[in-house]
Structure 1
């Protein structure tokens, strides 16, 4: 691609690129629900990636926090996904937590949690739950958590998750739980998925777990503030596209090794895959542009534009990744789906990771926006068409 990221973020991107071969190797070695990609995460820690999304006021690099840093953010997440989707899921959650703290945290919280990141603590966001979900109660001057979270990514390794908890009035409060200071129950038997196994997205149960008042982040309902809540989907879309890029690269290498590059049908399929990947990269760049636009002018109009773009990006990259997996399997056949090739694991991981909540709603919102609050260029075209129709 011709897009370039700001030079201040090039060392981070280069470090992630160098980690990809190690990440691919460890992904194969840790493809089980009780494993964790510790080596790859240590490499990324050593490159200062865990503190990149912290404000420079507290020693970070402002990645994703200022105008013209968002394309670098999405590029770095895509590169991480190229190596291991599991690591991409973990790091995206870590970044998400840091963005929430930067947006809603107090000055003291920002300083304290920045220090935790510099000390190597992994953050995350645990929001999903079933009927036995987490509640927050205030009793005798103290706060306590009770209930369970599902899909608690990084269980036993993430020591600073942001946990959303329901209160009596039905509102939701973000709480940072210091898991190295309290005891919780993890249910590893709950997690036995087709892919993304080593994310350790277990069920975690809190039983009268004490939460200091200064670990409550923001006010009730802040977690769902738009466009931050839905707009954040472009980050996991970037990770997903990284895996699709790896499938393309691995497919080309596989065909070269088998000397099948002169087959016309293989050329057609590879051509289709290249177009899809380039389309995905254009979508990511457009997402970064709209993120920059909103950061520069956080108006209601720009919020709506960012949400619309995020819904389109998520939908488009889901479709791109799905088509890439189909074309890849047509290229490599049954032989390529055998180990030690990476194809079958990446396809399992990507298939699982693509299953994000409410995909139909995203597409519905794209259509609703077009029929209502159209972007300027669309309104102009509609005006021209109306004029032409009146002439007829």
Structure 2
């Protein structure tokens, strides 16, 4: 299947009314249905299990394309891909096959309740199974998900664990409480669990300090999701601004040219922004290649190799963050005062980039990059590094 062209078609449709949907701020049920109908949700599932059989390089490229049309939906799709891979990172081969076949058959969309800074979700043994209780914020996709991956702490052992569950259970409460100024359709509100039964086989694994290096790739993999949808937002802003400048923006009275597209200052600014986007894309592709190599190594991956992958991803994360924030703010310099009209929604690109780039401080990524460059060190495994 031509995944990239499919993604571009979906992204084009999303872009048509992205500003209006951003204003309406409704849970993205129709958008998820659009992804489901396109076949993109099963892209990473092996063909023999009913999926698309694509690799992570392709998935990252698809995320970038979708984010260019709508940053929120790019985030949703990226999280879906990562969460659907959690059984591979933490579970058994048998459990992974079971879930992937069911996901392909059911067209599942995956959401998460994994915020490590909300440690109050507990998993308590009870009559041969477990009970899940507590609340998580920033549960991206959970509001519209068919399956949820959640982080919890076992009350009997104190171990941090990963579980998978069906959100249709009445003890799962998914309020529509996401109302931030950016990524408004990412369904990143809260989720509460009240005595939700979890079977022993649905506890995928433990997030221990001695986790197999392959399992710790979960963090570079999701950080690279961020890289690509940041870049997609930036590229979407550039494309929208280019179309507007060519067709609507008027030349300045002192420019001496017939169209805004001939203005030397406009051209120079677009040149700067295009260079920034090209550079960030090169580093994003490098990060995608590094993650794919690590995933291909499987359980033979070493800690040193994992550390080098994380360092490569950190470089791309910094570059994509800086490029997205700069590009989405400065496109207004080359579109003009009329482009600030609310109906056009040019501000959404910056709001989207600014909102998610606060996920984890880029200053700490810079410290990782500097420490690796100067001292050859690798950041310890956390759900942020």
> Which range, TM-score by smaller chain?
0.7 to 0.9
Contact 1:227–1:304 (8 Å) recurs in 2: no
Which structure 2 residue ranges, 5 or more long, are not aligned?
Answer: 250-258, 379-385
Pick aligned residue for 2:173 from 173, 185, 189: 185
User: 2:371·2:377 contact (CA, 8 Å) conserved in 1?
Assistant: no
Q: Which residue of 2 aligns with 1:18?
A: 9
What is the CA-CA distance between 1:44 and the residue it aligns to?
Answer: 2.4
CA distance 1:104–1:56, change in 2 (3 Å): farther
Distance 1:254 1:152, change over 3 A: same
1:122–1:159 CA contact under 8 A, matched in 2: yes
Question: Residue 174 of structure 1 contacts residue 217 of structure 1 at CA under 8 Å; is this kept in 2?
Answer: yes
Partner of 1:268: 268
* 1:48 aligned partner: 39
Is the contact made by 1:26 and 1:39 (CA closer than 8 Å) also made in structure 2? no
TM value normalised by structure 2: 0.86
2 CA distance for matches of 1:78 and 1:206? 33
Measured at CA, do residues 18 and 33 of structure 1 come closer, stay the same or move farther in structure 2, by a change above 3 Å? closer
Residue 178 (structure 2) pairs with residue 175 (structure 1):
no
Compute the displacement of 1:90 (Å).
1.1
Once the two structures are TM-superposed, the CA of residue 360 in structure 1 deviates from its matched residue by: 2.1
RMSD of equivalent CA atoms: 2.4
Q: Distance in 2 between matches of 1:86 and 1:142?
A: 36
**Does the 8 Å contact 2:183/2:355 carry over to 1?**
yes
SS in 1 for 2:335: helix
Task: Note closer, same or farther for the CA distance 1:25–1:272 as it changes in structure 2 (3 Å cut).
Answer: same
Distance 1:374 1:126, change over 3 A: closer
State the SS of the aligned residue for 1:188. coil
Q: Match of 2:351?
A: 348
1:57 CA drift (Å): 4.1
Residue in 2 that maps onto 1:208: 195
Say whether the 8 Å CA contact 2:111–2:148 is kept in structure 1: yes
CA–CA distance in 2 between the matches of 1:155 and 1:292?
A: 26
Instruction: Give the equivalent residue in structure 1 for 2:140.
Output: 153
8 A Cα contact 1:34 1:188, kept in partner: no
> What is the CA-CA distance between 1:136 and the residue it aligns to?
0.8
> How many residue pairs were aligned?
360
> Is the CA contact 2:27–2:143 (under 8 Å) kept in the aligned structure 1?
no
CA displacement, residues 46-68 of structure 1 (integer Å, 9 cap, x when unaligned):
2321111123442223433xxxx
TM-score (norm 1): 0.85
Q: After TM superposition, what 4+ stretches of structure 1 lie above 6 angstroms from structure 2?
A: none
Contact 1:96–1:124 (CA under 8 A) maintained in structure 2: no
Deviation at 1:114, TM superposition (A): 1.9
The answer for unaligned runs of 5 or more in structure 1 is 1-8, 65-69, 376-392
Deviates most, 282-291 or 366-375:
366-375
Q: Give distance in 1, aligned partners of 2:130 and 2:377.
A: 45
- Bigger drift between 317-326 and 165-174 goes to 165-174
Q: Quick one: structure 1 residues 239 and 292, their matched pair in 2 at CA, closer, same or farther if it must change by over 3 Å?
A: same
Matched, 1:63 2:54: yes
